[in-house]
Structure formats: C-alpha cells, structure tokens
Structure 1
C-alpha cells in the first residue's frame, strides 16, 4: 500500500503544468522536423520553421509556447491499494495545483477559464477548475496524464452518431476540411469510436496523451483494425493538402490516434478532437516517495532551424497607412509590420458593437480609423518583457463583427490566424481592406517583435482587454488581399491537386 500525500500531489500537478507550458514533447518536435524536411510548399515550410524556432525559444526562455496556455485536462488513474493523506478530493487537489501553476510569479500562465458559461462568463483569474477524469486501476500507484488544451483546437472537435454500416474514414475525410485551420495544423487527430457519446469523447481526448509513433507503426505494419484505420487516415488526411496553418502542403497531421470501446448494436458514436501545434502534455507516476520529478530536455535535442523572411518581403510602417497603400499587397506575400496596432478579441468586439449600436463614442485611445487590429490575448509580462507570448487567436470568431469594424469603425486591416468565412472575405473585398495571418504556435517568437504595450480600454476583461502594441518587423503573411483573393482557399486546392498528380505519376 502507498500513501500519497496531498502536498506531493498538488506540487506534482503545479510542476507538470509549468513544465508543459514551455517544453514540447520531443516526439512531437521530431515529427515536426520531419514534416519540415519534406515540405514542398514554401509558405507551409516557413510556418513550420517558425513553430520549431518558437519551440526552442520557449524552452530556452522558460516561457509559454503559446499565449493560449489552455484549459487543463487531467486523467488520474488511482491504484486500488492507494491510500490518500489528504483532506481534499482529487478534483480539489488538481484545482489547487492549477491555481499555483497559472499564478506562478516567474512564469505566469494566461487565465482563460470562465465560470457561468451561459451567463456572465466571468474569468476565474487562475484557470481553475480543471477537467478531471478519474479511474480506479490495480496496484498501489497513482498515474497522471495532464494536458493544457488550447481553445482554438478544442473548438474544432466533432461528434457524430454513425450507423453501424457507415464508414468512419468517409466521415473523417468529409469533416476535416470543415474544421478549417483554427486548430493550427500540423497537429494530431484523436478519435474515439464506440461506447456512448460521452465515452467516445473521453477516449478521443485521452488518445492525444500518447506519443507520436505513426512512423514506427508504418515500419512495423498494422496488425489490428485500429492500427489499419490509423494508417489509412494518416495517409488520406495528408492527401487533402490542407497543410501547415491551412496554407496547403504535404503534412496536415503528424499522427492519428484511435481508441475504441464496445458499443450498442445499433450505434457507432465517433468523436474527433484535434491537437494543435502547441501540443502540451506529460505523464508521471506517484508511488508515495514524494512529488514527481520532471527532467527538462536538453536544448541540443531541438533541431537547428533558421528562419529568414526571404526576398519576397514587404516592410511596412502602419502609422498613417491608407487603403491606397494596401491595394498593392498580394495574397501570399510576407509583410513585416512596424508601428502601432490595436488588439481585440471576442469580448472587446461585443462591447464595441453594443456601444456603436447605442450611439456611444468608443473609449479614449480606441480609434480604428485606417488602423490594424490584432486578434490576441497575451500572457502577462515578466522581468524585462514588454508583453508575454502573444500569438494570434482564431479569426473566424470575429467574422460576425467584420463588416461593422471595417464599415462603422473604419478599420483597414486585421491580423489573426486561420481562414476567414465567406461573408468576412466578401466584406474585406467590399471595403478594400486586408487580412494578415500570423503563425499560430509561434507566440513567443511573435512577442519579440512587440516593443511597447499598454492597455487602452476594457482593462476589466483581463487578457481580452484592448491593448496598443508598438511593433517592429512583426512577421505576417497576406491571407486575404483587398481583391478578396484568399490563401486558405487557394493553397489547399492547389496542393491537393499536386498530391493527386504525384500519386498518379508514382502509380504508373
């Protein structure tokens, strides 16, 4: 029998969350490097390079890989012979570990969890509570798998109740393109099949805790139905040509994980949950001898990747810029932005919409006329930082506000990640504006381009407040130009066709 002390468990949770905030699993890093080496689309290769460079920088600087430091998911498997020395429940101990990790003074993590989800949606300010799944297993140890799941990838989760005779592969191939790029590919797909609806969802999430090992499976060969399905989906999803950040390319997924369970004879529940380019998870075991010891990887374990902007680059100062200036920008161009930009996300956009609807002036310091907005919720700064990691959030969530912001507010440019919906693209074209894409999963790298930062409005919204950033050579790409040409539509279409042509040529 093992006695697990309350403090050991809480410390282990807190240490694990700090650990995964800045260290990618090395199996994931190696898989990304392999994707980088074989990528043929320059735009996708550039995005992967930024992600790998950001990963190393985060490890070196001990700062978050991504500004979205996630909602905590924790699988706790408790041995039947374990005894607890604690006056708290497992949920309460996990939550205390979350609070300590996310408010750590040396590496504060962004608090993204809101309570009262159908009401006030008030931020808990410490990212608690976590989502905890508890199982009883044989033995006298406690096994913990813990992850921090970003909202952009979590929001792309899909669930379906198929008929027993329906084809899972067909559903996945039909569904993945509808997920867009908000889940920041290349990443992983976790798929749960069977059980009941909620069982399939838990299996899909837990499968994402596993190591990237698809190439070992390819070398070994599939032996079970699940392994055959993994290989088929890995091949066919990558043939879709979605590519890194949805720009088109050879690698959309680094691995496909599948868990199954017995189900009702008339049912086939299927849940698919993607993991993004900020995959963060770790596993540890407690045996009563003290807290978990997590050994940081060596910086030499990261591949040597250099990122250069190349020759096709446009340097722009956004201070005083006009629509005439941006009219010549073309989809696919790399742009280095300098000057002052404003930020704003969901909550800020909603307040702006309400104020404009009531005929009220916007707060002092908030003037969007001929300016750019960056969809971001940064991590708090520490030490000599101007701002913490500050990568882009999913732009489609702001689509419903786009016409208002371009028309009434006078905005001429937007910066975010992933694609825009058809109505937003049409509004961009109508107003002769532009949409620029920063790389999701490169938050620490992007933050280095921010030289000054201050909150100018809605401070009570925390990370959703409106900031003014002064940037220097902030790297972005033109995703939708003023004529409505859309990189996220053009890129995957071109690369899916190129992959088909290559397959045809190789089959001759």
Structure 2
C-alpha cells in the first residue's frame, strides 16, 4: 500500500503553483509562436510579441506571467489503495500548499481571493481557499492537476441549457463575440457538453487542462463527433476575426477542447470557459517516494524576440494636454513617461462614494491618467512586481462620474470599453489606452518607482503612483469615441471571409 506523507503532498502543491506562475506550458508557447509567425494584423502581432517576450522574461526571472496570479483549482484522482500519513484533511493540505506558494519570499504571488463574496469581500491574504475537485479511483497513486485561473478569463465563462435540437456551433459562435477581449485571447476554449448544469461547467474546466493538439488533430483527421466539433469550432471561431487582445487578426483561439457526458433526454447543457494568455496548469503524480519537483522547460522553446520601443510616440504624462490627446489615432502605439496613477474596482467604488458625499479624494485626478491594475508585491530589488492591466469594462459604470467630477484625462486598462464608457470618453474628449494582458512582467520593467498615495488598506487595490518610462500602450478609444475593439475585429472578419470566398451578408 502506498503511503502519501502530508508534507510531501503539501510541498508538491506549493512547488507546482510556483512553477506555473512563471513557466508557460511548452505546448502553449509553441502554438502561440506559430500563430505569431503567420499573423498579418500588425496590432495583433505586436500583442503576441509582447506576450512571448514577457513569457521568456518570466521563465528566466522566475516572476509571475500575469499580475493576476489566479484562484487555485486542483483536480485530484486518489487511488483507493493509498494511505495518508497526515493530520490534516486533503483540502486542508491543498490550502496549506497554496499558502506556502503564494507567500514564497523569492516569488510572492498576488492574493486575490476574497471571503464573504456577497458581503464584506475581505481578502484572505494568502489566496486560500482553493477549489478542490476529488475522485476516488482504482490504484495506489495520487494524480494531481493544479491550475491558477485569472479572474478576467473566468468572468467570461458562459453556460446555456439548450434544447436538444439546438445547434451547439451556432450557440458558441453567437456567444464568443459577447465575451469581448477581457479573457485575453489568443487562448483556449474549454467546452463542456452534457451531464447537468454543474457537470457541464466542470467538464469545460477539466478540458482546459488538456494539451494543445489541434494542428495534429487537423493533420490526422477526426475520428468521432467531438473531434469533428473541435475542428469546426476552431476554424469558425478564428473566422470571427477577434484576434489577439480583441484587436482584430487571424488567431483568436489556439485550440478548442471539448469534454462530454451523458445527459437527460430533455436537456442539452453546454458550458464555455476560456483560458487566457496566462495559461497556467501542471500535472504530477505522487507515488509515495517523496515530493514531486517538476522539470523546468528549456529556454530553447521560446522564440528569440525583443521589444522595439522606438516605434511608439513618446508621451509625457506630466505635461499632457487635451490638444495632444485629440491628436492620437486609434491603434497608435504610445510610450508613456512620467507619473501614472492606479486604481481598480474597490478604489473606484470608494472614490465615487466620496464624490457623492462631497468629500475630497486622497489624490487630485485633474489632468492625470489612471491605470486599472492590481500589482504583485515586489521582491528583492523590484520597485513593483508584475503589473499588467485588469479588465476595463468593470470600471465602465464609474467612468462618466469620475471624468465629469475630477478632471481625469484618461485611462489605461485591458480589453474593450462598453457603450456608456465610450460615450463618456467622447463627451469629455478623453482617451482610453490599452496595455497587453499577459505581459505583466514586461510592463513592470517600465515602472521605475511606485508609492501608495491612497486607500492603503485596500492592499493590491490601493491607489499607487507609478513613475513610468516608455510603457507601451495602444490607443483603444480615441477622443472622438472610435474603438479599435469594434473596428479591428470587423475589418479582419471581412478580410478572412473575403479570402475564403464567403458571401458578405448585408444586415
């Protein structure tokens, strides 16, 4: 009988979570490199380059791929012949592994988990608890899959209880464009079909743990209906032209993974869960011989790319004017220099409450830009840890009031803005700039100083002031309200359909 010791299990979980925080799976890097090499959209190609450069930097520096180091999900298959030498429950051991990993002094990870989600929403400070799924199976080993799922991509999860006669393909193609770019494409779609509502969602999440192999599948041809569906959805989703970061391009998904399960005759449950550019998961097996240390991948798997900062227009944030903002063009690359404030959900909610009460804010926003970010804590000689953007649409409901009452000039974030925010940007002749999601460590290298200037009790959601040098961003919504997240995908969808000879549908 195999004996699994408590500390071996805990340390293996902790080491695996550290590992996936800075090493992309090699299959993802190879698939993204292939997509980068064939991409024709300059904006999408630039975004992919930043993700690949960031990934190699993280592999070399052992720092997080993304500032959102995720909520931990663990899948366990526990052999029936395993005996535990432990005083903690299995879930308690998993959570101790999470605690060790996220508080590791050489690579501290961001604590993003909040207790009392419908009430106080208080940060647990160590990213516990994890979401643990367990199966008891024949055998004498423990198979473990760990994943760290970012909130931006998890927020775009979708579920529908279709009628048995409905088309799954039609529903997916209708649903994916509604997900926007907050899930940081190009990534993967995990699709669960069948079972019950909760089973379909679990199948979709489990599917994301599988390796990327769509090109091999296309080369050999499908052998069943699920494989046929994978190929059909992969090709048709990429025809949508959404592209990297939603900027328009040839590749939106690197793979579509599907798992199914028998279901009730009256039902057709279907779930979609996307995996973002910070794809983080690993598998290992405990056999009683001690803790598992995953083998680092070779850096030869990464392409040799460098980011050329000379191609952007340099902007001095400390001397910015409305006239300069009005000269920016949608899709233009800017290099930000000077002082940049930060603030995301909790900070915006508190600022708006203070404005409603007529109270002064802790920092003057007049003439400033605010970056939607919750950075990782710094280690060693860093001024700040990885500091990539968070999804901007969550701040849409605050945008009109903040622009109108504070004199804020503009915002920096991830993905598209909604109609209300775009209207506010146009009304106040502001601008919204997009940083690349999945390039957090690369972005942090442009931050030369950082200090908290408001709401220190909010932790990573406090208001910081960054001193930045040549921080790369793209003009996503200009002062006239034109959004590249609308024009880019529409342009590339039309290009792809024209190339494939698909008739244009006039609506």
- TM-score range for the pair, normalised by the shorter chain length: over 0.9
Q: Is the 8 A contact 1:309 1:334 kept in 2?
A: no
Q: For the structure 1 residues 194 and 505, does the alpha-carbon distance in structure 2 shift closer, same or farther, using more than 3 Å as the test?
A: closer
Query: 1:108-119 to 2 correspondence within 5 Å?
Result: 108-119=108-119
Aligned to 1:85: 85
Alpha-carbon distance between aligned partners in 2 of 1:457 and 1:245, rounded to the nearest angstrom: 30
Alpha-carbon distance between aligned partners in 1 of 2:4 and 2:50, rounded to the nearest angstrom: 42
Query: 1:119-198 to 2 correspondence within 5 Å?
Result: 119-198=119-198
Q: Is the 8 A contact 2:55 2:65 kept in 1?
A: yes
The one of 479, 482, 485 aligned to 1:482: 479
Alpha-carbon distance between aligned partners in 2 of 1:370 and 1:66, rounded to the nearest angstrom: 29
Shift of 1:301: 2.0
Deviations 1:431-483 (A, max 9, x none): 00000000000000000000000011111111000000000000000000001
Q: Is the 8 A contact 1:109 1:379 kept in 2?
A: yes
Aligned to 1:345: 344
Aligned to 1:67: 67
Alpha-carbon distance between aligned partners in 2 of 1:162 and 1:505, rounded to the nearest angstrom: 28
Residue 453 in structure 1 maps to residue 450 in structure 2? yes
RMSD (Å), alpha carbons? 1.0
Aligned to 2:313: 314
- Structure 2 residues not aligned, in runs of 5+: none
What secondary structure is seen at the aligned counterpart in 1 of 2:145? Answer: strand
Alpha-carbon distance between aligned partners in 2 of 1:144 and 1:419, rounded to the nearest angstrom: 36
Query: 1:43-442 to 2 correspondence within 5 Å?
Result: 43-309=43-309, 311=311, 313-363=312-362, 366-442=363-439
Alpha-carbon distance between aligned partners in 1 of 2:269 and 2:215, rounded to the nearest angstrom: 28
What secondary structure is seen at the aligned counterpart in 1 of 2:318? Answer: coil
Q: Is the 8 A contact 1:15 1:101 kept in 2?
A: yes
Q: Is the 8 A contact 1:103 1:109 kept in 2?
A: yes
Aligned to 1:4: 4
The one of 462, 465, 476 aligned to 1:465: 462
Deviations 1:204-259 (A, max 9, x none): 00110110000110111101111000000000000000000000000000000000
Scaled by the length of structure 2, what TM-score is found? Answer: 0.98
Shift of 1:304: 1.2
Alpha-carbon distance between aligned partners in 1 of 2:119 and 2:368, rounded to the nearest angstrom: 33
Alpha-carbon distance between aligned partners in 1 of 2:136 and 2:502, rounded to the nearest angstrom: 53
Alpha-carbon distance between aligned partners in 2 of 1:305 and 1:254, rounded to the nearest angstrom: 20
What secondary structure is seen at the aligned counterpart in 2 of 1:408? Answer: helix
Judge which range, 45-54 or 300-309, deviates more.
Answer: 300-309
What secondary structure is seen at the aligned counterpart in 2 of 1:159? Answer: strand
Deviations 1:368-419 (A, max 9, x none): 1010000000000011101000000000000000001111011111000100
Alpha-carbon distance between aligned partners in 1 of 2:324 and 2:305, rounded to the nearest angstrom: 34
Q: Is the 8 A contact 2:309 2:470 kept in 1?
A: no
What secondary structure is seen at the aligned counterpart in 1 of 2:58? Answer: helix
Scaled by the length of structure 1, what TM-score is found? Answer: 0.98
Alpha-carbon distance between aligned partners in 2 of 1:233 and 1:477, rounded to the nearest angstrom: 30
Alpha-carbon distance between aligned partners in 2 of 1:382 and 1:315, rounded to the nearest angstrom: 29
Alpha-carbon distance between aligned partners in 2 of 1:460 and 1:59, rounded to the nearest angstrom: 32
Residue 502 in structure 1 maps to residue 493 in structure 2? no
Shift of 1:320: 2.7
Shift of 1:310: 5.8
Q: How many residues align?
A: 503
Judge which range, 294-303 or 62-71, deviates more.
Answer: 294-303
